[in-house]
Structure 1
């Protein structure tokens, strides 16, 4: 992962190199991609478990992929291992960080039996210094099916996600207005 900057930054001044969430999908590099967002809609006051997709300018801080299912989409992508988890327990110091099993607190498996997290684009929402209860694991990943909401992430058709991931740069942001 790349070095962090403050999350939830200025959402004005989006560039063509940014992923911009609008009412009809995400706009990126002159194209529009249908997507789904959190079941709680777009929220200005994100809380753990609310299902909301947080407003803000979220920097892309990393890309994770399943090496047994695909090749890395960008040179800086990191493989998801069998013991990789994402801590979603606000009481833990590792809250909203990648951890490894065995882990004694609540955490989401990154290596899943289904293909949902075969390719994951990480945002800097509430990271690297996570405020307890402000939400965790705001990712870009594949959708379960078109129109099916997420728990707060932004989800895409798998082919679109792969196209997006291959064109990310260290300056790319997800803009949620």
Structure 2
């Protein structure tokens, strides 16, 4: 018995495929989005910039309600890296097209990231997030060859040598003439495996003056930061998303992101 040249296709499926082809519809576009590592997130902080080289953008908070992202705040201005943004290492899959975050490049990491502990100069803060008060001996290690790379340490326990070469004292007010930037902040979970030279010490923090670009973090006004800190809940598995607008438009459906304010 000879093998048929064509397998039998149900008439209904054939008709649907014919209509889709005639209308120029991509079958993959009709497939539901695949599950992603942040599918359990119920809070999302979204930062959108105009392009890869933009040094400013907007931040808006969203909550998952009845299976949909709903705005929990209006959009507020923020500043990002002095050279814009670049793909970071986080919860999202690697994105080979576009700039890639490197240590010292002056770019804020783009992608989807966990939100870690809050920190600041005060002994406590109005937040449900884990909070760590910073000391004169607190440093974030940005030395790529250090075994403590991308970690906040205290030299009272780790030793003075552990912070050798680090340019990130966490009490900027004591080390830089009253600098307010780290008075309140949040750790953004970029490069969680501490890959050397992939970028370190990425925070959301205050700005000194409105719109001042950063070395690679996201900076904002004190009232914006206060709103974020008071709103966040660890049990909501919050995530931080930063994307240039063109990448946001490309990935919003696949990554199941909320509609960004313009």
Asked if residue 124 in structure 1 is aligned to residue 178 in structure 2, the reply is no
- Partner secondary structure for residue 226 of structure 2: helix
Partners of 2:139 and 2:163 within 8 A in 1: no
Asked if residue 105 in structure 1 is aligned to residue 148 in structure 2, the reply is no
CA distance in 2, matches of 1:33, 1:14: 25
What residue ranges of structure 2 are gaps of 5+ in the alignment?
A: 1-35, 50-56, 62-71, 88-99, 174-178, 244-262
Q: 1:100 Cα deviation (Å)?
A: 1.9
What's 1:7 paired with?
none
Partners of 1:66 and 1:81 within 8 A in 2: yes
Moved over 4 A (4+): 10-16
Q: 1:53-92 maps to which residues of 2 (within 5 A)?
A: 53-67=108-122, 71-75=124-128, 76-92=130-146
Q: 1:162 Cα deviation (Å)?
A: 1.2
Q: How many residues were matched structurally?
A: 165
Of 222, 243, 252, which residue of structure 2 is paired with 1:158?
Answer: 222
CA distance in 2, matches of 1:17, 1:80: 26
Asked if residue 38 in structure 1 is aligned to residue 91 in structure 2, the reply is no
Q: 1:166 Cα deviation (Å)?
A: 1.1
Asked if residue 176 in structure 1 is aligned to residue 242 in structure 2, the reply is yes
Structure number having the greater strand percentage: 1
Q: Deviations over 1:90-149 (max 9, x none)?
A: 01010000112323422210012211101110011012x200000011100001211210
Asked if residue 50 in structure 1 is aligned to residue 105 in structure 2, the reply is yes
CA distance in 1, matches of 2:78, 2:163: 34
Larger radius of gyration: 2
CA distance in 1, matches of 2:42, 2:58: 15
The farther-off stretch of 43-52 and 104-113 is 104-113
Q: 1:13 Cα deviation (Å)?
A: 7.3
RMSD: 2.1
- Partner secondary structure for residue 133 of structure 1: coil
What residue ranges of structure 1 are gaps of 5+ in the alignment?
A: 1-9
CA distance in 1, matches of 2:224, 2:60: 12
CA distance in 1, matches of 2:37, 2:73: 18
Relative distance call for 1:120 and 1:40 in structure 2 (3 A) is same
CA distance in 2, matches of 1:15, 1:93: 31
